[in-house]
Structure 1
Amino acid sequence: MSFKAVVVGAAGGIGQPLSLLLKQSTLVKELALYDVVNAPGVAADISHINTPSIVKGYLPKDDGLQHALKDADIVVIPAGVPRKPGMTRDDLFNINASIVRDISVGIAAHAPKAFVLVISNPVNSTVPIVAEVLKKKGVFDPKRLFGVTTLDVVRASTFVSEAAGKPTESLEYRIPVVGGHSGETIVPILSQTQPSSNFDQSTLEGLVKRIQFGGDEVVKAKDGAGSATLSMAFAGARFATAVLEAASGKSSQQPEYTYVHLSADAGGKEIESSLPGKAEYFSVPVLLGKNGVEKILPIGNTTDYEKKLLETAVSQLNGNISKGVSFVESSKL
């Protein structure tokens, strides 16, 4: 089984490597690349790769977004401006919110049944923007809308394996990362690390901070030349592949962590009732199926330290979510 995949923002720092990775997937039969500039050039370049999918590039002129989205099975959205030194993800809101809103209007009209994967930051707010637009258009399905938080899981695996003195074994380390996708809303549940690792409190706190603010390392190292684009593209492609594999009928063996509306499954109510405060959206462990979210799994037992991290995350997330919802309420669609 193969699918039509769309990358919106395909000419950007995340979009190009993400498109390259999706071109390699045997699950993709058609790859539509859309951006405000350079998408046809990226498509021409990638189209020379000898994998079966057909690649086409689209620009805004001649209803390019409409044609790109038509018959889409999955839409991945890395569109928007990247972070610069000193910027937080929330600093990006005013620019990226409008971009994501307008893309969402196009999805509602031309690909209402597609799986929608949001990478554009701040994810804590942009996912609610997409949801509110789809609600207003009468096509919202919480099982098919995802905020991509896979990079937090990837970083956690890398950083924990390094701290354990086993850097070459990072693939073996599975660490649940829940909450949101910025700073202190990111909550690594290190007590559930598999294989188990014991760290002193100082090392533990250092790991949590590094996982929460790992993006800052890249922004600083690139010295004004960009943010975490390549690792984000890897994480985005990994999650997109998991969604497509599940849609093709391959049962999910391991949970994926993704930022979803907790109404996507009954398990979301259990998580919401276990949290130290109300949160309509949360990054949670999910099993994927043919229709997207098949099951939301419990977060599991947490330490007192992790409970405090969750309290901080929930308090910050509510403001992020409200910001996205209010933006759509004040918009003319």
Structure 2
Amino acid sequence: MAHKRNKIAVIGAGFVGSTTAHWAAQKEIGDVVILDINEGAAIGKSLDLFQAAPIEMFDSKVKGTNKYEDIADSDVVIITAGMPRKPGMSRDELVGVNAKIVKDVCEGIKKYAPNSFVIVVCNPMDVMAVYAKQLLGFPRERVLGMGGCLDSARYRAFIAEELNVSVKDVTGIVVGNHGDAMVPLVRMTSVSGIPLTDLLSAEKIAAIVQRTKTAGAEIGGHLKTGSAYYAPARGAVEMAEAILKDQKRVLPVAVELHGEFGVNDKLMVGVLAKIGGKGMEGIIDMKLNADEKAEFEKSVEAVRTLVSALKTVN
């Protein structure tokens, strides 16, 4: 019997979407469909990416479309569609614009890929993930938000740069919301097992924590007209790969909390979770100390505030 290949649908052919498709095809985690309302962009970028296959030596098929029926039977759907935040635009304004887009996207997913795992990347990520979860009605194991993988990667990159060591040996996670109230867990950060606090001064660590929180804005400030895409796309593909290969990775992802860490109102907040073939296979009980709990609660409150902005949209 022929083996069914994995299928990854990427919704949105902008910078994040096309780069997500690039990483997914290059890593051969499955065949890739890029869907965008701008059919030309989806088809053109797909053709371009497919033509790199003989050089990079990947056998993933890549297809562009504007028709939701082409995402039928996708194993993983990654939602990148949406407007990036423009200079001077508040997150609340962005909520209104992107909620409309996410609503259309979720209708398509429900109809054509009802058994898929959904990874939300578009901003503001936490509230869009909450909204997608509500619209889809899928169990929480199958709807995840991508903020934590990106924020943790940024945090680890800055630590490696400061210490002039390989990024491979830096372990560190960022939980909470994907925004200014995110919580890099310094106490749980290490380099080959050595606590970060043994290697860097409190001032240097504080500077890295602050830079991590504003890393997206730092990039946006340089780009002027857009926002980050290489690392966000790779974060989404890290999650997709963990699901498709049943890796049981322990990753920081946004998941709907059902009483964990005292959150009971169906908010999606970044926590450490085990990601495998069933999607989110368990939330890791991080033993937070009093300071970390207080920081995490501020993060939860930030998500709650944005979700209330969503209520005014509907």
Superposition TM-score, scaled by structure 1 size:
0.83
AA partner of residue 259 (structure 1): A
Aligned to 1:129: 131
CA contact (8 A) 2:33 2:65 kept: yes
Q: Is 1:95 matched with 2:97?
A: yes
Structure 1 residue 88: Cα displacement: 4.8
SS in structure 2 opposite 1:14?
helix
* Cα distance change on mapping 1:162 and 1:25 into 2, 3 Å: closer
Structure 1 residue 308: Cα displacement: 3.3
Q: Any runs of at least 4 consecutive aligned residues in structure 1 with deviations exceeding 6 A, and if so which?
A: none
AA partner of residue 84 (structure 2): P
CA contact (8 A) 1:286 1:294 kept: yes
Structure 1 residue 43: Cα displacement: 1.4
Aligned equivalent of 1:55, options 41, 62, 73: 62
Aligned to 2:142: 144
Q: Which moved more, 1:108-117 or 1:191-200?
A: 191-200
Aligned equivalent of 1:288, options 275, 293, 296: 275
Structure 1 residue 47: Cα displacement: 1.8
AA partner of residue 309 (structure 2): K
What is the rounded CA distance, in whole Å, between the counterparts of 2:169 and 2:95 in structure 1?
35
Aligned to 2:297: 311
Gaps of 5+ in 1: 264-268
* Cα distance change on mapping 1:288 and 1:94 into 2, 3 Å: same
Structure 1 residue 115: Cα displacement: 0.6
Correspondence list, 1:267-282, <5 A: 269=259, 271-273=260-262, 280-282=267-269
Structure 1 residue 300: Cα displacement: 2.1
Correspondence list, 1:110-129, <5 A: 110-129=112-131
Structure 1 residue 9: Cα displacement: 0.2
Q: Is 1:259 matched with 2:250?
A: no
What is the rounded CA distance, in whole Å, between the counterparts of 1:236 and 1:281 in structure 2?
16
CA contact (8 A) 1:278 1:314 kept: no
Give the % identical residues.
28
AA partner of residue 188 (structure 2): Q
* Cα distance change on mapping 1:193 and 1:303 into 2, 3 Å: farther
What is the rounded CA distance, in whole Å, between the counterparts of 1:172 and 1:201 in structure 2?
20
Aligned to 2:155: 156
Structure 1 residue 34: Cα displacement: 0.5
Gaps of 5+ in 2: none
Correspondence list, 1:139-218, <5 A: 140-149=138-147, 150-163=149-162, 165-166=163-164, 168-184=165-181, 186-195=182-191, 196-198=195-197, 199-218=200-219
Structure 1 residue 5: Cα displacement: 0.6
SS in structure 2 opposite 1:22?
helix
What root-mean-square deviation, in Å, do the aligned CA atoms of Structure 1 and Structure 2 show? 2.0
Aligned to 1:68: 70
Superposition TM-score, scaled by structure 2 size:
0.88
SS in structure 1 opposite 2:302?
helix
Structure 1 residue 74: Cα displacement: 0.5
What is the rounded CA distance, in whole Å, between the counterparts of 1:235 and 1:125 in structure 2?
18
For these two proteins, the number of residue pairs brought into alignment is 299
